[in-house]
Structure 1
Amino acid sequence: MRHDTDLLAEDGSARTKTFHKGALIYKEGQESTVAFLVKQGRVGVYRVVGNKRVSLGVRGPGQIFGEMGIISGETRTANAEALEFTEVIILDQALLRTMLLKSPRPVQIIAGYLVDRVRALSARITDRPTGDLFLSVCRILALSYRSGAAAAPKPGHYEMSYAEACRTVKDILLISQLEIDEIVEKLAKMAVVELTDVKSAYFRTDPLLDTVKKGADFVKDRILRIPDLEKFLQVAKNLSRELRGQQALACDLEFMDLADFAREAGTTGEVVYRKIGYREIPDTLFFFHKPTALAYIERMGPDFFKRAKRPRLTIKDLETVDDLVQVDNATLQEVFSNLGFHKLAVLAAMAGEAAREKIYKNLSKKIAKVVRDEADSRSDWDEDEAADVERELLTSIKTMKGLGT
């Protein structure tokens, strides 16, 4: 069966172009000078909204894409990507207009109507699905609070989790946490909402004394109360009117790079890298920009990712017994030979799992058994003694490596 592509291909003036799988044919915001008719292959048309890809459809053989720009004179409103090896016929503005002019008048009217419909649909896919972001957030908070208060056992005593309220808002609106915080802070200054911090703390077991120690307090959540819903909504409407015409609410990036993370935490990138390596920071906090990451993986090649190189030892790498995992086995075996069974048992008892296993692997089976038995049998290690043994171990390693005196 013959397609329009066959007729155009027979025309010597028609230009064709090929794209490999994954190739970007055009990007949103680029100038629109040509449209494309798919001769073979498939093309995905999409927009990126709020770090999410919104698919606008797939074009196959005989279908046109990218025609909106040359019809309306606007820049590209979407992206087009080859989903497989694709060959397209390039349609410039003159050719497309000639084709339309040769069409019957009803077809021209329908084409114009469809252009307006597609433009209206594209305009709805925006970063902001609402014209009044401030008032929309306030209304969602009010509805959530009203719903929770109605189900509360004691009327007038309802308290809403701020974290859950923010999740509800972000499920409905494309909005960042910083923007929500700024809106709620404005409302709190107007005394129409009340925020109370709920603090918690981390607890860890001391392996030497077998006691539980409390870490620093942190804000686990916040409790949000709206004493008067009617007053809340009235103030929200008044504030919304005042904010109209002003500059939109300032908003920082939703994501930060490692340097910004370190600066906010009051530390250095080097320390953050080490904490990531030790898995002290959850991996759910880190994201990769997919196109950039895929390009990097392809550039480095598969062999690069088969094993991780251990960084060269530096003096600042040795701070606790758990840093033994960064020390070579030959150095550890020589240092351990100068320590008695008792000190090795103290080190094994205070070390983390990875460092403890490395201690045992660098001892003979007979000595490792003695050290393991003593480390497992005692739970009343003296904390000062443990600190002295750890200091002696690290000093010995640094001296051998020429990193300390």
Structure 2
Amino acid sequence: MRRDIDLEDEQRDTTVRTFHKGATLFKEGQPGDVAYIVKTGRVAVYRVINNRRVGLGERGPGEMVGEMGVMTGEPRGSSAEALEYTEVLVCDQNLVRTMLLKSPRPVQILAGYLVDRVKALSARVTDRPAANPFLSVCRVTALAWQAASRTEVPELRYAELSRTIKDILLVSQIEIDAVFDRLKQMHLVTVTDVKGSFTRKDPVLGSEKPGTAFVKDRLVRLPDADKFLAVAKNMARDAKGRPDFEVDLEFCDLPDFAAAAGTTPDILYKKIGYREIPEELFFFHKGQTMAYIERMGPDYFKQARKPRLSAADLECLDDIVHVDNATLQEAFSNLGFHKVAVAAATAGEAACEKIYKNLSKKIAAVVREEAAALAGCDEDEAADVEKELLDRIKAIKGLAL
């Protein structure tokens, strides 16, 4: 790394800022009044287009981020986020311009050229409907092969297939070629060149001779169509997280949230109702929200009707909030103090409150004390207590077990 004495002197006057993992250094559209030199850590640079996060690269120690806004005086053209704990040196507009003025004239001209080039390239960054271009290209190819396999000679013309992929996914030909290069290396596809040539006429003899050969077309075949998508999915999963040009969603819906957490939307709905998930994670599309409010009318939102679960629908300990008090009191009396304490120690906030409300003050005090001592109790014991309590409630309700 270049060690410039003047630059080091100027950096001694800069401010050092720290950002924890996931913190935002700046947002697209904000004034670009300062730039940052990464001291430790890594920073991701991205744009958000139609709710899609388009990655533009990463910056590491010794590299600068946010310099475009300082040099051009225009609002930020991208956003930056810390990928890990990061320390940066803050460089204001005067410092950056001073560093440029101290540079040789050819370097200043080159910097201006690079700024114009980066602005032009950033303007061409567009949204893609596919978060994983590799897997999306494979899926379109698999669908096209299903149609071609019904013909007498199953094959796909590469040029036509590429046009179809570009029309559906809005990816470039370079990206399509890169995908098929990887597929050929894994022997998932075969690409056969169909060569042709222009004939030329001999000016003396008058006979026609073949000219220089060229690739007239390419034919694509899938040797094992049944395993094609399965292997492609594994390849896409293995390549996830690589520092390639990626597109990701800035916002996700509830099913995507559930899939990432390894759960179901129904459980997330319950956790939202119990306030176990922080409210700052949820956003609503303003236009659709206003239309929904108008459609439902103001009275609809005056009160919330809590859905009632029948005894047969009870699945977990937190579901006891839907059980009537008389049934719970009878179930607790047959369960015993220790098991009630185990239930209170593992239940959610609403279910725990329901337990204490259905105990006498004296017994509730004893259960609270024992539940506090049971923090981190054995999971198998907690599961047994949960099952026994739910079984007792269902038996009281007259359900066959």
Shorter-chain TM band: 0.3 to 0.5
Q: TM-score, normalised by structure 2?
A: 0.42
